[in-house]
Amino acid sequence: MSASTEYKAQFEEVYLSFFARMKRFALQYVIREEDAENIVQDIFFELWEKQLGFTSFVNLNGFLFMMLKNRCIDFLRRKTLEQQAAEEMQSEYIRTLKLKFESLEALNNKFLNEPNIDTVIQNAIESLPEKCREIFVMNKIEGKKQKVIAQELNISINTIESQMAIAYKKLKEALKDYVLLFLFFFI
């Protein structure tokens, strides 16, 4: 019998003798059968890859269960960290939702219903320097991309970006009493 055939026979014997017991043990700790089975399969895969001689172990039973215990600990540690991260993300999401909800509730309907709000916004836009206003209107009102505006006006994208920054700064100042509308319409 060749060494690989002998190892295969030993491996099969160990696998058949220990797999079910190891899976039951793991299942007591990792809860899901699929996870328990995967852990035990991984152990046997590692044993197969390393081609460890089973006859060299004084206490094979102890060795296998020590491997299993360590794998279960690693699994539980990883799952605990994953769960904590998920809970933190959920908690952050809930805080963000509450903040947005409170912000919308606090929104003053008075200025939304103000009849001259369109005039206020239009006057703020008209107060922009000519080139700045032209670029802002093309981008935010007409919905054109910066690249298209650059081609139409024969200017660089950097110029458009700097003009847009000026427009935002001036509009933010002009509409400071209507900051939420500024954000809604222009950002």
The pLDDT tens digits of the residues spanning 79-118 come to: 999 999 999 999 999 988 888 787 777 666 655 566 677 7
Q: Look at residue 143 and tell me whether its pLDDT is greater than 70.
A: yes
Q: For 31-156, where are the alpha helices, taking DSSP H only? A: 33-50, 60-106, 109-112, 117-126, 130-136, 146-153
pLDDT in tens, 63-80: 999 999 999 999 999 999
Q: How confident is the model at residue 168 (pLDDT cuts 50, 70, 90)?
A: confident
| Amino acid 109: pLDDT | 60
Which band of pLDDT confidence, cut at 50, 70 and 90, is reported for residue 184? low
Q: How far is CA 141 from CA 102, 114, 122, in A?
A: 29, 21, 11
Q: What is the mean pLDDT of residues 126-131?
A: 92
Domains of the chain as residue ranges with CATH: 3-104 (1.10.1740.10), 109-186 (1.10.10.10)
**Cα 22 from chain centre:** 35
Distance, CA of 119 to CA of 127 (rounded, Å)? 12
Task: Identify the weakest region by mean pLDDT among 5-19, 92-106, 161-175.
Answer: 92-106
Measured from the Cβ of residue 104, the count of other Cβ atoms closer than 10 Å reads 9
DSSP one-letter code for 113: S
Terminal CA-CA length for the chain: 77
Return the SS3 of 156.
coil
